[in-house]
Amino acid sequence: MKMTIERPIYGLEEEVFVTEPTKPSLKSLYYLAGMLKKNPVFYYTHTASNFSRGKDISQGLMSGVEISTAVHGSIDELMDDLAFRRNDLIATCDGLIVPLGHLINFYAPTNTCAFQIHVGGVKNREKAYRNLAYFLPLLVLLTVNSPGADGKYYGQSFRIDKSFAIGELRSDWEYRFQDIIYAKRLSTIELRIFDPIWDLDRIRLLLSLIDAIVKAEKVYSFNENSYNKLRSKVALTGYCEEIEAIYQDLNEIKEVRKGIFQNTCSDLVWEFYQQEGLISTYSALDNAYRTGMFTPSRTPSESDSLLKAGIGFAGYYVPKLPYVLWKYWREW
């Protein structure tokens, strides 16, 4: 019998907050307008603006901004593309770019940011989906990065535990608001659970592990109920006893040191916040996103320019609205 060799393809969607300096503002639309002006063909479909919902609007209307890559069959090419898109955002943005799943000074389950990975080109989608879901409680520890809410410590990821946009897995793998789905519009497996992080090395490792899992021949014993019990525990406490067996199974596919899962981005961010405060933490996250160095650099003055917000609304949101409505219709 001829063995099937998987040749998956990948795409990334990265959402980040832009704060001025501690809260997002509608100036974010101005930055997106700058990207759209630079490359209208690509960034019309590879950027997005997000907004708070319901009662969370009282803390601020604007949420994060989104950039996404093209589709690639090579992890190296995908990482190069992500770095290029980041540089385009950096070039147009004078606010603080804050890669967090949820802002430390907010309590807003609808105002969150994600790092989403699309997996396509696999022949047995159900097998790939179930194997990825089996390893997801471990893989997510590479990116948990949402330690606080309302200035208080919450756990490894407030976003994973509280966000409206993800959640426990259901029998319907096309239902949109869960941790991993089959995305009808793109015909991909979409991993939605990950928090955004600044660390490109961690992202590269995550992608290499996902690639190895998708290509693995073995079928792992995924159970939805067990996953749903474990996801919240991991979101609160991180690496735990129940993760150990999953880690051992992962090492049969690809060896990786345990410490990378035990020492999280959330731990680093919260420790820094306790010592240095909010603005220095957001400045350090901005500098890490821009340069790779997690240390405070610039601190822009508080700004909520109505003129730039108006330019952004007219130059970005209005032209994008037809595409946003079409995308919403296709996804539902």
Identify the band that residue 6 occupies on the pLDDT scale cut at 50, 70 and 90: confident
Identify the band that residue 4 occupies on the pLDDT scale cut at 50, 70 and 90: low
> Residue 3 domain-assigned?
no
Residue 237 has pLDDT above 80, yes or no: yes
pLDDT in tens, 247-262: 999 999 999 999 999 9
Identify the band that residue 306 occupies on the pLDDT scale cut at 50, 70 and 90: confident
Reference 8, options 127, 92, 100; nearest CA is: 127
CA distance 35 to 39: 6
Is residue 210 within 8 Å of residue 191, measured between CB atoms?
Answer: yes
pLDDT in tens, 43-76: 999 999 999 999 999 999 999 999 999 999 999 9
Question: Higher pLDDT residue, 325 or 313?
Answer: 313
> Residue 18 domain-assigned?
yes
Residue partners of 213: CB distance under 8 A and separation at least 6: 128, 131, 132, 135, 250, 253
Q: Return the pLDDT at 308.
A: 93
pLDDT in tens, 151-201: 999 999 999 999 999 999 999 999 999 999 999 888 999 999 999 999 999
β 115-120/148-149 pair status: unpaired
| Relative orientation angle of helices 125-139 and 224-237, to the nearest 10 degrees | 30
Identify the band that residue 1 occupies on the pLDDT scale cut at 50, 70 and 90: very low
pLDDT in tens, 133-164: 999 999 999 999 999 999 999 999 999 999 99
> Residue 2 domain-assigned?
no
| Domain containing residue 124: CATH number | 3.30.590.20
Q: Return the pLDDT at 311.
A: 93
* Placement of tokens 């949402």 in the chain: 146
Q: Return the pLDDT at 323.
A: 79
Reference 113, options 129, 127, 97, 126; nearest CA is: 97
Q: What domain count does the chain have? A: 1
17, containing H or E segment: strand 9-19
Burial of 312 (0-12, 13-18, 19+ CB in 10 A): buried
> Residue 4 domain-assigned?
no
Residue 292 has pLDDT above 70, yes or no: yes
Residue 302 has pLDDT above 90, yes or no: no
Mean pLDDT of the chain: 95
Count the helices and strands in the chain (H runs, E runs).
Answer: 13, 9
DSSP 196: P
Q: By three-state DSSP, how is residue 227 classified?
A: helix
CA distance 242 to 262: 13
Domain span at 118: 9-331
